[in-house]
C-alpha cells in the first residue's frame, strides 16, 4: 500500500508520467445532485486554499512505468468527487475560453497573455491527455484520428455517464470529434456541468482565483495492488468510525477548561453538555448552529473575535477556543440558552400550532435553514426591542417563506451570499436598537430588498415556475403543489399531504400524468401526438417535468405507465405503506379538481377528456398564476 497527500494539481499533473483515474464498469453511476454540487462550490469558495477533500482509493497493478508511459488507476473510492471536480473544470475551461475570445489585444501584455493561455491549456490537459503513440502495456484509451486519447478522469459507463462525458468534451472542442449522446442534457453528468457553468463568477480574476483554489484541494491518495486489498481497505475506512467532529473537539476543550478553572464539576458539565446536544440532535444542525451563533451575535463587542469577520466551517474551532479560554462557564451558559431557541427552528413540529410554528414548518420543508441566522438574533432580543414582537415575527416569517421559495426556485441570490444577507439585516437592526429605536417589519423588509438580498424579479420567478421545475428541484415542486392544495383545505377537506408512515416515508408523492420514463408507452404516443413518436418525444422533453403535468398521489406502480383513462379512474381504499388511500385523479384531491381553460371549455385533471400539449400548458399556466398570487411579495400584487 502507498499513501500520499497530494493536491489536485499533483493528482492531475500535466508533466512527466501522467496518471489517469478510470472508474470500472462495476461501479455505480454518477449520483451527485444539486445539493452536493452546491456544497462543493461553497466549501471551495468559503475555505482557505488547501481545503481537505478526503481520501481516494485506487488500484495500481503496474508499478513500473517506462518513459512517457501513462499510469491508469482503477478508482475504487472517490469517483463522485473526482468526476464532479472534472465537470467543474470543464465549466471553467468553457468560461476561460469565452473570456479569451472576448478580450481585446490591449487588455494584457504578451507575458500576461502567455500565462493566461497556459492556464487554459493546463485545464485542458487536466481533462484529456493525447499521445501520438502508446506502449503495449498501456490501456484505457480511445483513438481519435492520429491521436490516442486518455481521459484523466473517466466515468463509469453506467447510465450513459461515459457517453455524456465525451459529449461535453466534444462540445468544448477538447475532443475533435463530436460525440453523440441522445438526451444528454436530461441526465446528471450534463446537468452538473451546466450547473457549475451557470454558477461561476462573471469576471476573469475571480474565476482564476476559484481555479487556483480547486487545484490546491488536498486529498489522501491511497493505492494498492489488487481489488481485494482495495475493498478490504475501503470497508475498513468506512466502518472504523469517523474522526473527531467539531462538537467533539469543543466538548473536550469546554469540559477541560471548566474543570481546570473550577467553574463546574465535570459530571455536572457533561450532563449540561448532553442537554445542549438534545436541542441539536443532528451533526448538521450542530455545525450550522455554531456558525449562526457567531454570525448572529458578533455585532456585540464581547462576541466579536479579532481576525474573524465571519464564521466558516474552517475557523469555527479557533473562534470557540477563544470564547472558552476567555470564560468557559459564560459561553457554555449562553450556548445552552441559544440552542434552546434554535431548537424551535429545527424541530417546529414539536411546538404548539400557531402562525409562527406553521411558517417555521414551511421554512424547514423548503430548506430555508439559512434564515435561522437572522431568526436566532431576532428571537434572542427582548420584547422591548420591537414595536410589537409577535406581529413583527409573524410578518417576518411569512416574508421569509416567500423569499426562500423564490430563492430556491430561481436560484438567486446565490447560496454563498445568504449569510452575508442575513448579517446585513442583523447589523441594521442592531444599529436601530443601539440608537434607542424599535425594530419594525418595514425596517427588515426594506433592508433585504434594498441591500444585498434583493430577490429575482417576479417575471423571472414566473419563468422558472413555468419551466420543468421537477427536473431542477424536486423538493420545491412537491412543496408548491402541496401548498396549492392547502388553499382549499377546510374542516371537511383536510388531507395530510406531509403524512409519513412508520418507516418515515411520505405517503403522498409526486405523480407525472404523462409518464416520465424516456420510453413513452404507445397509448400515450397516440394521445399526445396522434401516433407520431418523434413529436411525442419533443412534447415529452418540453413538458413532462413542468407543474402542469404533476399532481400528488399515493403512488401505485400499476398507475405509473397506465393510460390516461386508467389514471383518471378512482381506485378506492388502496393500501400503500401501510395506509389506506384513494388513487386516481377522481379521488377528490383539490389539485386534481383545479380548473384550467381550453378552447372548448373549462376542465380539471379529473375530467379533461384528453391529455395533450394544450392541456398540459393550460394547466401549467393556471397553476403558475395561482402560485404567483400566493408567493408574490406585497408590493408586487
Write the pLDDT tens digit of every residue in 260-288: 777 777 678 878 888 999 999 898 899 99
Q: What CA–CA distances, in Å, run from 429 to 360, 399, 417, 419, 437? A: 21, 17, 19, 15, 9
pLDDT of residue 573: 54
pLDDT of residue 577: 46
Secondary structure (3-state) at 254: helix
CA triple 40-81-27, angle to 5 deg: 145
Q: How far apart are CA 526 and CA 528, in angstroms?
A: 6
DSSP labels, 82-114: HHHHHHHHHHHHHHHHHHHHH--TTSS-HHHHH
Q: What is the mean pLDDT of residues 70-88?
A: 90
Q: Is 438 left (phi over 0), alpha (psi -120 to 50) or beta?
A: beta
Output the nine-digit C-alpha cell for 150: 486518455
Q: In this structure, are residues 480 and 627 in contact, taking their beta carbons and an 8 Å threshold?
A: yes
DSSP assignment, residue 133? -
Q: In this structure, are residues 245 and 283 in contact, taking their beta carbons and an 8 Å threshold?
A: yes
pLDDT of residue 278: 93
Instruction: Locate the DSSP E strands across 38-196.
Output: 52-59, 71-77, 128-131, 142-144, 147-151, 153-154
pLDDT of residue 242: 38
End-to-end CA distance of the chain: 65
Which residue carries 483515474 as its cell? 21
pLDDT tens for 120-152 read 999 999 999 988 888 777 778 888 888 888 899
Q: What CA–CA distances, in Å, run from 491 to 172, 334, 358, 494, 619? A: 58, 43, 17, 6, 27
Strand-pair partners of 2: 223
pLDDT tens for 155-169 read 988 788 999 999 999
Q: What does R_g of the chain's alpha carbons equal in angstroms?
A: 28
Instruction: Locate the DSSP E strands across 555-611.
Output: 571-576, 579-583, 596-598, 601-603
Q: What is the mean pLDDT of residues 390-418?
A: 96
240 vs 133, which has greater pLDDT?
A: 133
User: Which of the residue ranges 56-65, 201-210, 387-396 would you say has the lowest mean pLDDT?
Assistant: 56-65
Q: How far apart are CA 146 and CA 180, in angstroms?
A: 20
Q: What is the mean pLDDT of residues 471-480?
A: 95
Mean pLDDT of the chain: 89
pLDDT of residue 159: 81
pLDDT tens for 333-344 read 999 999 999 999
Strands 218-224 and 52-59: parallel
Q: What is the mean pLDDT of residues 559-571?
A: 83
User: Which of the residue ranges 18-22, 419-423, 546-550, 578-582 would you say has the lowest mean pLDDT?
Assistant: 578-582
Q: Helix axis angle, 283-297 relative to 418-434, nearest 10°?
A: 40
pLDDT of residue 342: 98
Residue 26 has pLDDT above 70, yes or no: no
Q: How far apart are CA 563 and CA 552, in angstroms?
A: 17
Residue 104 has pLDDT above 70, yes or no: no
Q: How far apart are CA 627 and CA 616, in angstroms?
A: 16
Amino acid at each position: 500500500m502507498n499513501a500520499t497527500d497530494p493536491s489536485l494539481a499533483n493528482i492531475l499533473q500535466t508533466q512527466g508520467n501522467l496518471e489517469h483515474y478510470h472508474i470500472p464498469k462495476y461501479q455505480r453511476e454518477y449520483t451527485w445532485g444539486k445539493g452536493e454540487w452546491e456544497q462543493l462550490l461553497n466549501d471551495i469558495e468559503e475555505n482557505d486554499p488547501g481545503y481537505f477533500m478526503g481520501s481516494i482509493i485506487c488500484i495500481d497493478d503496474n508499478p513500473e512505468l517506462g518513459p512517457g508511459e501513462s499510469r491508469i488507476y482503477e478508482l475504487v473510492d472517490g469517483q463522485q468527487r473526482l468526476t464532479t471536480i472534472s465537470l467543474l473544470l470543464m465549466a471553467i475551461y468553457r468560461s476561460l475560453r469565452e473570456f479569451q475570445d472576448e478580450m481585446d489585444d490591449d487588455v494584457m501584455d504578451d507575458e500576461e497573455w502567455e500565462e493566461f493561455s497556459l492556464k487554459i491549456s493546463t485545464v485542458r490537459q487536466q481533462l484529456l491527455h493525447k499521445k501520438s503513440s502508446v506502449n503495449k502495456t498501456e490501456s484505457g484509451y480511445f483513438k481519435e484520428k492520429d491521436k490516442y486519447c486518455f481521459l484523466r478522469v473517466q466515468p463509469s459507463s453506467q447510465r450513459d455517464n461515459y457517453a455524456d462525458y465525451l459529449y461535453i468534451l466534444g462540445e468544448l472542442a477538447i475532443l475533435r470529434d463530436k460525440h453523440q449522446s441522445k438526451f444528454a442534457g436530461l441526465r446528471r453528468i450534463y446537468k452538473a456541468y451546466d450547473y457549475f457553468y451557470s454558477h461561476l463568477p462573471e469576471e476573469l480574476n475571480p474565476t482564476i482565483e476559484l481555479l487556483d483554489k480547486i487545484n490546491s484541494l488536498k486529498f489522501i491518495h491511497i493505492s494498492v495492488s489488487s481489488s481485494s486489498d482495495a475493498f478490504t481497505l475501503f470497508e475498513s475506512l468506512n466502518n472504523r468510525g469517523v474522526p473527531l467532529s467539531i462538537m467533539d473537539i469543543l466538548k473536550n476543550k469546554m469540559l477541560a477548561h471548566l474543570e481546570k478553572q473550577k467553574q463546574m464539576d465535570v459530571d455536572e458539565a457533561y450532563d449540561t453538555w448532553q442537554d445542549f446536544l438534545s436541542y441539536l440532535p443532528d451533526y448538521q444542525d450542530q455545525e450550522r448552529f455554531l456558525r449562526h451563533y457567531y454570525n448572529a451575535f458578533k455585532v456585540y463587542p464581547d462576541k466579536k473575535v479579532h481576525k474573524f469577520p465571519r464564521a466558516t466551517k474552517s475557523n469555527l474551532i479557533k473562534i470557540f477556543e477563544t470564547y472558552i479560554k476567555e470564560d468557559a462557564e459564560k459561553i457554555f451558559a449562553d450556548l445552552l440558552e441559544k440552542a434552546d431557541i434554535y431548537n424551535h427552528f429545527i424541530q417546529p413540529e414539536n411546538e404548539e400550532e400557531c402562525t409562527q410554528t406553521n411558517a417555521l414548518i414551511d421554512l424547514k420543508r423548503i430548506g430555508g435553514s439559512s434564515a435561522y441566522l437572522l431568526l436566532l438574533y431576532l428571537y434572542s432580543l427582548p420584547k422591548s426591542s420591537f414595536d410589537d414582537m409577535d406581529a413583527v415575527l409573524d410578518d417576518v416569517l411569512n416574508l421569509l417563506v416567500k423569499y426562500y421559495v423564490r430563492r430556491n426556485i430561481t436560484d438567486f441570490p446565490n447560496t454563498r451570499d445568504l449569510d452575508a444577507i442575513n448579517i446585513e439585516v442583523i447589523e441594521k437592526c442592531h444599529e436601530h436598537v443601539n440608537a434607542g429605536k424599535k425594530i419594525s417589519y418595514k425596517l427588515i423588509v426594506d433592508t433585504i430588498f434594498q441591500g444585498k438580498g434583493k430577490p429575482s424579479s417576479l417575471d423571472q420567478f414566473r419563468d422558472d415556475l413555468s419551466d420543468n421545475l421537477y427536473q431542477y428541484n424536486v423538493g420545491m415542486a412537491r412543496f408548491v403543489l402541496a401548498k396549492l392544495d392547502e388553499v382549499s383545505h377546510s374542516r371537511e377537506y383536510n388531507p395530510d399531504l406531509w403524512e409519513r408512515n412508520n418507516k418515515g416515508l411520505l405517503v403522498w408523492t409526486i405523480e407525472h400524468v404523462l409518464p416520465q420514463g424516456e420510453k413513452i408507452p404507445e397509448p400515450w404516443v397516440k394521445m399526445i401526438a396522434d401516433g407520431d413518436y418523434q413529436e411525442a418525444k419533443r412534447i415529452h422533453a418540453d413538458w413532462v417535468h413542468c407543474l402542469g403535468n404533476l399532481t400528488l398521489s399515493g403512488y401505485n406502480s400499476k398507475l405509473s405507465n397506465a393510460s390516461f383513462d386508467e389514471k383518471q379512474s378512482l381506485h378506492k381504499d388502496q393500501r400503500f405503506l401501510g395506509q389506506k388511500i384513494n388513487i386516481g385523479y377522481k379521488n377528490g384531491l383539490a389539485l386534481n379538481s383545479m380548473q384550467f381553460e381550453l378552447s372548448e371549455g373549462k376542465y380539471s385533471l379529473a375530467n379533461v377528456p384528453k391529455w395533450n400539449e394544450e392541456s398540459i400548458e393550460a394547466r401549467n399556466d393556471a397553476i403558475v398564476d395561482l402560485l404567483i398570487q400566493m408567493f408574490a411579495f406585497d408590493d408586487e400584487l
